[in-house]
A and B are shown apart, each in its own frame.
Chain A
Amino acid sequence: MVNHTVRVLAVAAAMLTSTAGVDVTKLGAQTAGNDTRGRTLYVKVGCETCHGPNGQETAAAPRIAGSGRELAAFIAYVRKPLGSMPPQSAQAVSDQVLADIYAFLRAAPAAGGEATKNAPAGRADAGATLYRKVGCYQCHVNEGQGGANGPRIGPDPIPFARFVQYVRSPTGQMPPYTDKVLSNQELADIYAWLQARPRPPAVNTLPPLAP
């Protein structure tokens, strides 16, 4: 199971001069974000309502998992967002809470990042059968593309460690799968198949999708 603790203190201090409005000097030693705590807080504070359970793209918001922003810039954004995202004041959500959430999101770097390397070798063909057999298709639809009952999970699934964590202990409506009924190796197979899903053609090349 994943439990990275991201040490952000040094980075935060380095951002001091460039980040308006955030007194990062107040980020004490305890601001080392805790990813496990962050996962719970992420849902509790309501980020998940728009950004989905792991910070992937949704209809309401862009992807924020593995954000390239440094902690201070991340906090600054949440305090004063640019578009329709609602701002969160320090009274409502402390810097510490945001540091934990940041740690959670950072432990899920963009596809191809560090965490993906930990995925055991999976067999995509076995994964195709399993994906159907154990019912992932029911909510995530036949090709992992998602729909009204579950988000898109392929291609570009979230990093394997996060993937396993989500399937074992979902934070939303998804029913959990224990290792008694679905092994890590089987999940790796499903993961490999999801990674191998074809990318769609550019949307503007598909006339029926013209608005």
Chain B
Amino acid sequence: MAKSTRAKKPLERRQFLRQGALAGAAALVAPPSVAAAQGPAASPAPLPPAPAMTMAAETVPPAEAQVLGDNQRAGSDFMVDVFKSLGFEYVCENPGSSFRGLHESFINYGGDRDPELVTCLHEEAAVAMAHAYYKAEGKPIAVLSHGTVGLQHAAMAIYNAWCDKVPVYVILGNYNDAAIRRGAEWYHGVQDAALMVRDYTKWDDAPWSLTHFAESAVRAYQIAVTPPMAPVVLVLDGMLQEGPIPKSQHLPIPKLSVPAPPQGDSAAVTEAARMLVAAENPVLVADRLARTPNGMKLLVELAEALQAAVVDQGSRMNFPSRHPLNQTLREGAVIAEADVVVGLEVSDFWGTVNALRDQLHRSTRRLAKPDAKLVTITTGDLYIRANYQDFRRLQDVDLAIAADAEATLPALVDAVKRLTTADRRRVFEERGAKLAEASRAAAERTRVAASYAWTSTPVSVARLCAELWAQIKNEDWSLVSSYYSFDVGGWARRLWNFDKPYQWLGHGGGGGIGYGAPAAVGGALANRKHGRLSVAIQTDGDLMYVPGVLWTAAHHKIPLLSVMHNNRAYHMEVMHVQRMCNARNRGIDRGMIGSEITNPNIDYAKLAQSMGVYAEGPITNPNDLAPALRRAIAVVKRGEPALVDVVTQVR
């Protein structure tokens, strides 16, 4: 610290001390270890090179100019160049000082265009928006957050994306160098930021230099979008962002090359085709099959070639809801009859062919016939982690193909067509006719079921879905979220005609509540440029986790019709606690304590209005529904969000 004698005025002295400390620290403090970021198995960390800023401070006299020179770039400007090269359209962010350099670069250097910043009021909302955006658009967007307090908010949403096998590109800020941290940077500083989400992300890195950053940024993208897809994390050092790039430094941007997804082994695919062609009652079960719009086309082709029953478990838009071979309404029936069941990216295959009885003494039984042949095609076999248990129970199968199902379908379709004889085709046609009749009958019974309690108050959920359907069915609509209104078995899925890939975006993946509202806004953001009418069935409990996302929709003019399925409770939990009350046999009429959201009732219309969103409600009379929906849709068509609060029956 001998150089401090050169200090003149107090202000200069403070600046000087900072830089002096910076220089001194460089020699003594080993920055956080790269090895830690790669897990405990890695060998001890070699001493990494000092970050650019620290070296500069050490080797040159303190800079007088505290302003970036003309035509000079900052580290984060280069980062923006790299992010632009990856084609991100948006960055969902909640501002944080640990990425202030990058934030400024996005705005001024990048012009707030491709990517454009989307202001979120909670990191959980930012991640969930990116999650649903991907499913609507087939392209990831980025999330920008503090490495500590921001990531802690984001963690649940990252877990949802992990379970849902969706790439979310998470960028974190962090000041690595302890010698130059400002006050708050100490709470916001961390040795190994990605550690807390490493169990449910596919890859992370904390690059040491800009060259290292460029490679890791491109690598992270490639890893995220290669099936099995998953979130990735990039931790960007604050000083690496803020420091100027020496004019002489050459920084190439690696070319993005997205690997082709893994296709099934050809002998195994032929074997699967043989089993399917020989089967009397084959069933194709799809869950996260349709990665791209082509996935649905391919499944239709396979199903029609075989005239086989299809069950769409609904994590993606896998199969047209009214296709005559769609037997989703009779899933239990077709599984019970099946002699071959093929799971296509099914996350819970055990639960597809077995049932668990949820009573005081739990029991399980096989739903499929004991001799039914079981086949799976999934990237779930390629990558699995230990700690979180989203991989489900092990099901023994007759043929497991470790591959991406959508990438494997063309070969499977070809093999099926090749092996189908004229005799088999006649059998298939008979089977197809029976299935068509069965699905027609099931749809008819479902319509009748929806007519019960038609006029009752509060509004029945079937009525709500039917009224909403009547208003949108002639539009180019997309149901961006219906999270936790029992997505897959819910009334919208049962009654509406879903036949386009973007009309259904699946669900949250991990069951974490607080996905639905931001996912709806993220899906609507993706739909905006296509001019689609985005619709959400918004549950009350879910909205209250991150209600601020309504403001984001208003601020960024994201057109979205949110129709509240407001049953004034965390209803799933009400049912769970009731089960316990019954099993313990000591009082059955207090099960809703702790799970109801009443007294006072929340006024969701006022909540939305307070954030600049057009809103109506609460509606309790079903006859008021259609006119309110029409008014709200008119607002949405003007390019803005609108919310209709409907007080509903439970499910």
Contacts and interface: CB of A to CB of B under 8 A. Distances in A.
Given A60-B329, A173-B357, A203 B448 contact: yes
B628 to A, nearest CB: 14
A148 B589 contact: no
Contacts of A203: 447-448, 450-451
B453 A141 contact: yes
Interface string A74-88: 000000000110100
A149 B447 contact: no
B597 interface: no
Of B322, B442, B454, chain A has the most CB atoms within 10 Å of the CB of B454
A28 interface: no
Interface string B572-599: 0011001101110111110110000000
Nearest to A58: B445
Chain A interface SS verdict (over half) = loop
B357 A138 contact: no
B583 A148 contact: no
Interface residues of A, number: 46
Contacts of A138: 571, 574-575, 578, 591, 650
A60 B588 contact: no
A148 B358 contact: no
B460 interface: yes
A52 B609 CA distance: 45
Nearest to A204: B447
Given A50-B332, A175-B359, A208-B469, A59 B442 contact: yes
Nearest to B438: A84
B111 interface: no
Given A134-B589, A145-B460, A200-B454, A59 B336 contact: no
B337 interface: yes
Contacts of B583: 175-176
Interface string A24-53: 000000000000000000000010011000
A137 B650 contact: yes
Contact of A208 (B329, B470, B586, B588): B470
B486 interface: yes
Interface in B430-468: 434-435, 437-438, 442-443, 445-456, 458, 460-463, 466-467
Interface in A163-189: 172-173, 175-178, 180-182
A210 B469 CA distance: 10
A147 interface: yes
B449 A83 contact: no
Nearest to A92: B369
A173 B579 CA distance: 9
A193 B165 CA distance: 47
Given A138-B571, A143-B649, A180-B585, A149 B486 contact: yes
Given A134-B588, A148-B490, A175 B582 contact: yes
A206 to B, nearest CB: 6
A143 B452 contact: yes
Contact of A181 (B367, B574, B588): B588
A148 B333 contact: no
B357 A176 contact: no
Contacts of A83: 434, 437-438
B452 A60 contact: no
A182 B587 CA distance: 9
Nearest to B591: A135
B447 A211 contact: yes
Contacts of B446: 59
A143 B460 contact: yes
B102 to A, nearest CB: 45
A139 interface: yes
Contacts of A84: 333, 337, 434-435, 437-438
A57 interface: yes
A49 B454 contact: no
B454 A206 contact: yes
B4 interface: no
Nearest to A175: B582
Contacts of B458: 142
A57 B582 CA distance: 26
B450 A211 contact: no
A170 to B, nearest CB: 8
B531 interface: no
Of A46, A84, A210, A211, chain B has the most CB atoms within 10 Å of the CB of A84
A66 B303 CA distance: 37
Contact of A60 (B358, B442, B469, B489): B442
A207 B435 CA distance: 27
A200 B452 contact: yes
Contacts of A1: none
Interface in B559-578: 571, 574-575, 578
Contact of B460 (A133, A142, A210): A142
Nearest to B567: A142
A80 B219 CA distance: 60
A200 B281 CA distance: 36
A145 B552 CA distance: 38
B395 interface: no
Contact of A141 (B447, B579, B650): B650
Contact of A145 (B329, B442, B449, B626): B449
A146 B466 contact: no
A10 interface: no
B497 interface: yes
Of B359, B467, B571, B651, chain A has the most CB atoms within 10 Å of the CB of B651
Interface in A73-131: 83-84, 86
B449 A142 contact: no
A162 interface: no
B323 to A, nearest CB: 14
B622 to A, nearest CB: 10
A205 to B, nearest CB: 9
A169 B486 CA distance: 26
A206 B367 CA distance: 37
A89 to B, nearest CB: 12
Nearest to B574: A138
Pairs of residues from A and B, 6 with the lowest C-beta to C-beta distance, nearest first: A145-B452, A175-B582, A143-B453, A148-B489, A200-B451, A208-B466
11 contacts: A49-B336, A138-B574, A141-B461, A142-B458, A175-B578, A177-B588, A203-B447, A203-B451, A206-B466, A208-B470, A211-B447
Given A203-B447, A211-B447, 18 more contacts: A46-B336, A49-B336, A50-B330, A50-B336, A60-B329, A60-B330, A135-B588, A142-B458, A145-B449, A146-B452, A148-B651, A173-B358, A176-B583, A178-B585, A208-B469, A208-B470, A209-B466, A211-B443
